[in-house]
Chain A
């Protein structure tokens, strides 16, 4: 028992390892913030494309479907290898000369955009068709009805599942360590190997948990607010 406490929960190692792990964790934070913003923008675009009406838009819809199918089904670690080692290996000017941070962001964005597209799409489809018809009947064109009527309602509904996906994204930033990014998990691993103590992993775990708990509570809060509002409307 003492052995377990010493190897996993040594207060001394916790303090010694913390600065390095925190240094690495800042990179996780940057990765998640940049990726989250990009994911929010791209996913909304692709979700809208998937909902485009008419035969003319069929090729665009097909492209959107192919993209989401491929990247929702590919493990992030494979995408990270393909992007982090594959793109630099191409020897093409701009594409091959980015920083590892950029390749990390690209991998995370490719995979999570595919997930979040589906979340947005569910939101858009949950808006009752009568809303669109009403919008069109007062003279708004397709884009205007999406912009002012459908999307605002859809986004509000999907905020809780969106935040849920972001918790996943935050944790998965640790996976890009495989392409050599010196983030929290890698810093923790180094400390562990130099000192034969696993407390550094607990350091990293604590940081990730501290980040996700507030997000989880905020999600709960949003769900509660929406429920209250909808009940109020029903009475």
Chain B
């Protein structure tokens, strides 16, 4: 009996060693071998912020940078950081990256054209006010304000399908342009993911009014891959591992030392 269990143990060990060896030799198929090309969008404070030189991201810093580096390390790859514009992230067709972390909310419509990893962040929509705007007490107050959003965001969808404001929302091509519109007072209330607006407000407190509220939408951020990418399964396995071993929680604490629950919920 003892010999049998020892035999089983040896057999299991051999199989698992073989599995590990197989995993090592068949590196995941990336655009350039040995490298995981990770794309970020417009600088988002605390998520991924850095200088864009042509298509390269120079020295990016943030939660998504650390997380994607951990994923790449787990896959035995070196990360390379590139820039890709938000406006074409969900456009069907060939992608110029292996994986992109852009605070993209997982939705059924977007899943038609790209693949999402499992969630690496959970968020709601936040209302960033301009310095001259009055703080809305309810969603009804928000209706009469000049709202704005970035093109192709869940915030914009919420404005158009749920809020139905009295003034046409202003739509900007980049996060930077939308923030600028709030700074100069062209837009009273920018509707964008709470962690993004809260981080921006924290980084440049004098440029904005307060984050005047949040709208509970329970959104989950997933990283974006080309539809049908063979990387999806190995990357998901890595993200699962990072949730389980506490890396995700540790990184979120490191980058977002903001208590989102202090922001009032608008109803």
Contact = CB atoms under 8 A, between A and B. Distances in A.
A186 B173 CA distance: 9
A137 interface: no
- Dominant SS among interface residues on chain B: loop
A88 interface: yes
Given A88-B185, A189-B151, A182 B177 contact: no
Interface stretch (A9-17, A153-161, A190-198, A223-231): A190-198
Interface residues of B, number: 24
B265 to A, nearest CB: 27
Contacts of A148: none
Interface stretch (B28-36, B71-79, B164-172): B164-172
A89 interface: yes
B181 A194 contact: no
B186 interface: yes
Interface residues on A, range: 10 to 19
B109 interface: yes
B170 A180 contact: yes
B184 interface: yes
Given A180-B186, A193-B151, A85 B171 contact: no
B109 A180 contact: no
A178 interface: yes
Nearest to A88: B184
Given A89-B183, A180-B170, A180-B186, A194 B177 contact: no
A186 B152 CA distance: 11
Contacts of A193: 90, 151-152
B168 A182 contact: yes
A88 B186 contact: yes
19 contacts: A7-B92, A85-B180, A85-B184, A85-B186, A100-B186, A178-B172, A178-B173, A180-B148, A180-B170, A180-B171, A180-B172, A180-B177, A180-B181, A180-B187, A186-B151, A196-B91, A196-B109, A196-B112, A196-B113
Interface of B: 87, 90-92, 109, 112-113, 148, 151-152, 157, 168, 170-173, 177, 180-181, 183-187
Given A85-B180, A189-B87, 6 more contacts: A85-B177, A85-B186, A180-B181, A193-B90, A194-B109, A196-B109
